[in-house]
Amino acid sequence: MKHIAISLFVAAALAACSSGTSGSTTGGTTAAGTTTGHATGGAGSTTGAASTTGAGSTTGSHSSGSSSAGSTGAGASSGGAGTTGAGSTTGAGASSGGVGTTGAGTGGLASVLLVDNDGVPGSGNPDPSLTLAQGWLTAAGIPFDVYQEPNDGSDPSDVDPQDSQLTGINTIVWITGDNNGDGDPTVSSTQQTLLQAWLDEGGKTLVLLAPALPDDFGVDSWTSPETNTFLTSYVGLQNDLYDPLWANVVTTTEPDLASTASFTATGSSGASAFAGRTWTVVNNDDTNGSPYVRFRTSIVNPAAGTDVLATVMADPTSSGTNAAVPVATGNKAAGKLGTSTVVFVGLTVENLSNLIPSQNVQCDFLTAIQTYAGMGGTAGNCGVTVPTGTATAPTLLVDSDYESTDVSLPVFQSWLTGLGGAYTTYTPPQGAPYDFNDVDPSAPSLAGLSTIVWITGENDGDDTPTIGWGQQALLDAWLDEGGKTLVLFAAGAGDDFAQDSWSSNEPNWFLSNYAGFLADVQDPSVVVSGGDVDIDSQTSNVVTGSSVSGFNGLSWNVTMSENLQLNYFTIVNPLPSNVDVLATVQVDPTNSGTANTAEPIVIGHKQVGAAGTSTVVYVGFEVENIQSLPGTATQAQFLQAIAAYAAVP
């Protein structure tokens, strides 16, 4: 069993759990549109208390191997202070005779034990869950030890941490990240028994940041009573449900909560540390290889005497109406003596966005837990500084096409330059590492922006998201401010994160409530002689303008050419109200094989957001592939029509 005493939290590692702070606010020129760079994990993620706190503040002065702030090891791998004595080991890297390994341990080096059971293998791998928890405790000035649960089968009994290690431990913080028990248990049955005995001693505090625990060991039902003793008698639950349904009132669908880009957690008025606070929880399932935590959410029905700390809007009974249901609870009468505390958090705290305007942040949530549970320490910031600033121009051009030869960017830069308004170009990073929450551009760069033009070229999300779910959450918040305009040239988005169905309503909140999608199909069929074929198999397709001013009477020839873009098409069945059809294409979305129909491929939604005063335009084909032929309009005419409709400056 491996026991690790952490002597110094390296704040630079917080780049893994903090979004960039400067890439989207610096380096961009106006009018000319020079592409800005992107600094992932900007200055804000490497500053703060965690970057300067000495070893003594993380494991206590008992870590005799080192006491300097610059040390990373308090004894390092050879463990100068680590001995083979009866559990008196100090030092981070003592590999033998560690606390509890001989069965005669006198407890950890600190009264707080951080158990890392998120399933991230081995040291040296990016571990956003452990990094965040370390940063929280370090910034709060709470000494702690770390135990990392092995995930290689080396501990067949899975009894960790051993009982001897818990002597002297008053608080355990147990983190599971995106572990849902498929590989390793979140909190195994044997571990539950061990924790119950420890809580029975009285005066103990257990913080379970373990959103998938009900899916792993619970009944996982909103109507059947919970039977697991650990969950009922210690956590204080009557019912629990993993990944509940939620009612999308725009499309009247009932998707799983995991299918949305984000949701809001609201602090309970009955828990003073949480009251009046809200947090945006961002889905990170599309970060394609970067350090991330999957979207895990469990709602719970607490037993009498268990406090509700935070709620989310969900529809666990599939009634068609959302209600505020608990997602975090606290039981302050746990154990046989009724004097221990258990806090359960059913959301991934790692996914709380630090960049959504007006929302609180990861460490604010953890500090609320710290206050509620009486863990001591001070309010910290986990080493994360929420950046501030304003945009350098009223228009932002986001280049999310990731092309080695960028044929998209010059087209749109030339368009915006010709319009005469100042703009800045932002290019999100391609491939790992992304910003942890995949939220780019960062929120401060949106302050002062009136227009965002988002281009994806031939990107369909296979390597890098077209519009990451974290980005969608940020755009939602920005559009809610009112008076904003978002133009999405994002044909590949239909293949990336949309429902891609003509018969099922689009559940994605960003596409339905903001872009105005009721249903959508990427690469629809076209009836030609001999039956249906995919639209992108055609050498060219004609997009026809609607009766809306600027589009009326015009048509555009969209050509498939290896010298231009791959030809993506996403058609849209728009919401029945407040959405304008700007252009159509002849396709056969139902695969009838008999006739094509004119279906929307460009739409405009002019009553968007909480204020109902923002505009979103969606273009579902590659404008870059418009070729002027006799009798058809030009690329410039199409872009001018978009500018006039959306009032692009």
Instruction: Provide the pLDDT confidence category of residue 15 given band limits of 50, 70 and 90.
Output: very low
DSSP per residue, 86-139:
SS---STT--SS-TTTTS-----SSSEEEEE-S---STTS--HHHHHHHHHHHH
Residue 39 pLDDT: 28
Residue 56 pLDDT: 30
Measured distance CA(447)–CA(420) in Å, rounded: 21
Measured distance CA(644)–CA(547) in Å, rounded: 14
DSSP per residue, 130-197:
HHHHHHHHHHHT---EEEEPP-SS--TT---S-GGGGTT--EEEEE-TT--SSSS-SS-HHHHHHHHH
Instruction: Provide the pLDDT confidence category of residue 104 given band limits of 50, 70 and 90.
Output: very low
Segment among 284-293, 295-304, 564-573 with least mean pLDDT? 284-293
Instruction: Provide the pLDDT confidence category of residue 433 given band limits of 50, 70 and 90.
Output: very low
426 three-state secondary structure: strand
> What token pair was written down for 306?
């268990």
pLDDT in tens, 410-427: 999 999 999 999 999 998
pLDDT exceeds cutoff 70 at 24: no
> What token pair was written down for 590?
């139902």
pLDDT in tens, 120-151: 765 556 788 898 899 999 999 999 999 888 76
Measured distance CA(643)–CA(49) in Å, rounded: 47
Residue 535 pLDDT: 87
Measured distance CA(190)–CA(455) in Å, rounded: 52
Question: Average pLDDT, whole number, for the chain?
Answer: 78
Segment among 94-98, 180-184, 498-502 with least mean pLDDT? 94-98
pLDDT exceeds cutoff 70 at 155: no
Residue 287 pLDDT: 45
Residue 123 pLDDT: 55
Instruction: Provide the pLDDT confidence category of residue 61 given band limits of 50, 70 and 90.
Output: very low
pLDDT exceeds cutoff 50 at 59: no
Measured distance CA(514)–CA(425) in Å, rounded: 23
Distance of CA 606 to CAs 250, 573, 642, Å? 15, 16, 13
Measured distance CA(263)–CA(242) in Å, rounded: 15
pLDDT exceeds cutoff 90 at 407: no
pLDDT exceeds cutoff 90 at 282: no
Residue 285 pLDDT: 60
Q: What percent of the chain has pLDDT over 70?
A: 75
Beta bridge partners of 342: 206, 331
Residue 25 pLDDT: 29
What average pLDDT does the segment 203-220 reach?
A: 95
pLDDT exceeds cutoff 50 at 94: no
pLDDT in tens, 580-637: 999 999 999 999 888 999 999 999 999 999 999 999 999 999 999 998 888 899 999 9
pLDDT exceeds cutoff 50 at 551: yes
Residue 95 pLDDT: 26
User: How many other C-beta atoms lie within 10 A of the C-beta of residue 336?
Assistant: 13
Measured distance CA(449)–CA(446) in Å, rounded: 5
pLDDT exceeds cutoff 90 at 10: no
Sorted by sequence, the CB contacts under 8 Å of residue 41 that are 6+ apart come out as: 14, 15, 16, 18, 19, 20, 433, 435, 436
What average pLDDT does the segment 459-480 reach?
A: 86
Asked if the bond preceding 433 is cis, omega within 30° of 0, the reply is: yes
Residue 160 pLDDT: 59
Segment among 73-87, 448-462, 555-569 with least mean pLDDT? 73-87
Whole-prediction pTM: 0.78
Residue 153 pLDDT: 52
Q: Which carries the bigger pLDDT value, residue 583 or residue 447? A: 583
Measured distance CA(209)–CA(351) in Å, rounded: 12
Instruction: Provide the pLDDT confidence category of residue 19 given band limits of 50, 70 and 90.
Output: very low
pLDDT exceeds cutoff 70 at 230: yes
User: Alpha-carbon dihedral of residues 475, 477, 478, 482, nearest 10 degrees?
Assistant: 130
Which letter does DSSP use for residue 393 in this model?
S
Measured distance CA(151)–CA(158) in Å, rounded: 10
Q: Which carries the bigger pLDDT value, residue 478 or residue 36? A: 478
Instruction: Provide the pLDDT confidence category of residue 564 given band limits of 50, 70 and 90.
Output: low
pLDDT in tens, 332-359: 999 999 999 999 999 999 888 877 777 7
